[in-house]
Amino acid sequence: MTGRFEGRRAIVTGASRGIGAAVAERLAADGAAVALVARTRADHDHLTGSLEQTAERLNRYGRPVGVVVADLTDEWDRARVVTEAVNALGGPVDILVNNAAAAIYGAVGELSLKRRRILFEANVHAPLDLAQAVIPTMRAAGEGWIVNVSSGTARSWDGPPFQLGFTGSTITAYGASKAALNRMSNGLGAELHGSGIRVNTVEPRAAVLTEGADALVGSSLTPDLIEPLEAMVEAVVALCDCGPDVTARSFVSLDLMSDWAIEVRGLDGDPLPAADS
């Protein structure tokens, strides 16, 4: 534990499990007060993890923890997230991590309008709405950090012939929503440059085998296609504390770690045990 985020308040969405829960824990371990946002307060019907479980882990660090139950695909539900987080944490938000996402896969030629709307509500509109809600107080403070979690699926395929991978074209709509998130983040960061508010995206280089990812594609992944959860968390946390000119950029987790010479730490902020030789 470093106290790196002492005095800062953060919102982390999708914090009931996976990358979101891990980022929230790391921020709390390093001194931040954290508001956890997700749909699942208690037990999920088929995935492990909940807001209550994440909050219990964070409580051991002795920092304020808030819980906001909200469906981010609903514009009226997400409209109250920042207000409730501010009330729970006792002041304005310094850090926003938009991690929550809808991961809906399906053949492009058959994917329904309803499912496409859910993808873009969760993966594009919700991050921007929450960003717009925190920008005024960040601007008044002269600094702020907005980190949007993206995906390598945003990149287009070259071809023909096309190398589609084991998911085939079914990731196209999800990837399109993440491509939109990257571009929106880039434009917002450029627009806010000079205000002290940094806006960036970061994606894992390989799959992070969270509970949700394991349920979707875990059986198809070989070890060389998997990235440690702690590495992705380290990259996100680095962007929660970057300088004012690091903005409007899209990063890849392990590349950022290498370029910035960052050591991967555990979720408690302590160095990871040395690997057995």
With beta carbons less than 8 A apart as the criterion, state whether 102 and 119 touch.
Answer: yes
With beta carbons less than 8 A apart as the criterion, state whether 271 and 28 touch.
Answer: no
> How many CA atoms are closer than 13 Å to the CA of 63, on its beta-carbon side?
29
With beta carbons less than 8 A apart as the criterion, state whether 74 and 80 touch.
Answer: no
Is 105 a catalytic site residue?
A: no
Give me the residues paired with residue 95 across strands.
Answer: 10, 145
Assign 7 to helix, strand or coil: coil
User: Which of 174, 204, 212, 269 is labelled catalytic?
Assistant: 174
Tokens matching residue 262: 């960052």
Q: Is 140 exposed, middle or buried (0-12, 13-18, 19+ CB in 10 A)?
A: exposed
Contacts of 158 (CB under 8 A, 6+ apart): none
Q: How far apart are CA 93 and CA 145, in angstroms?
A: 9
Q: Is 138 exposed, middle or buried (0-12, 13-18, 19+ CB in 10 A)?
A: buried
With beta carbons less than 8 A apart as the criterion, state whether 275 and 233 touch.
Answer: no
The set of catalytic residues is: 174
